[in-house]
Amino acid sequence: LKIVVLISGSGSNLQSIIDAIEEKKLNAKIECVISDREAYGIERAKKHNIKTYLFNRKELKKNLFNEIEKVISNDIDLIILAGFLSIVSSEFIKKWENKIINIHPSLLPKFGGKGMYGMNVHRAVVENKEIESGCTVHFVTNEIDGGEIIAQKKVPVYEKDTAEDVQKRVLEKEHELLVEAIKILEKDKKKR
Ligand code: GRF
């Protein structure tokens, strides 16, 4: 399975894919890692000799995905948004329909949509006195966090939890969930 990973931050989700591949738990190859800003995740890719591309979302603005498009070869099987914070253009989604997945740190459809990313999600979960949260891997469509759900994992939320407590508990599950979701899609690809 040929994959491309898009990041914007620390890249701990990227790291979980790298580790799974190196431990032979995932039969895939990361063709390249693409970031829309300076990100520690780029260092993680470099450490594993994975090709990286850095784009400047502030300069490129609406042109970001036209530039990203140029570095993704047509034989890519899966494009993974892993802690990626820019909105994907509708042209890009149209071209790569059903080959783009995203990992989101809540049990979608709850706590998803515009502005719901990173700590905002966990703060909302705590403020809402939720007794559970979790993470979701879904296909990317033009509706932010609205595409078909592939897999989810749940975590308990305790009364004394801070948003950071929830974030830490969810992030650990994200690392497992993302690899499991890629495996599900790899099996599907084999079937087709
Ligand atoms: C985290 O908030 C994670 O929940 C979301 O993106 C953020 C950073 O992830 N998916 P990463 O460590 O950059 O993979």
CA pair distance 181, 103, nearest whole angstrom:
10
> Quick one: which atom of ligand 1 is closest to the CA of 85?
6
> Quick one: which atom of ligand 1 is closest to the CA of 13?
14
The ipTM assigned to this model is: 0.93
Q: What is the CA radius of gyration of the chain?
A: 16
Is 11 marked as binding a ligand?
yes
Q: Could you tell me what percent of the chain has a pLDDT over 90?
A: 96
Token pair for 114: 């515009």
What are the pLDDT digits (tens) for 40-73? 999 999 999 999 999 999 999 999 999 999 999 9
Q: Averaged over 137-141, what is the pLDDT?
A: 98
Q: Could you tell me what percent of the chain has a pLDDT over 70?
A: 99
188 Cα: distance to centroid of ligand 1 (angstroms): 26
Helix (H, G, I), strand (E, B) or coil at 26: coil
Q: Please tell me the predicted confidence (pLDDT) of residue 192.
A: 61
Q: Give catalytic residue positions.
A: 104
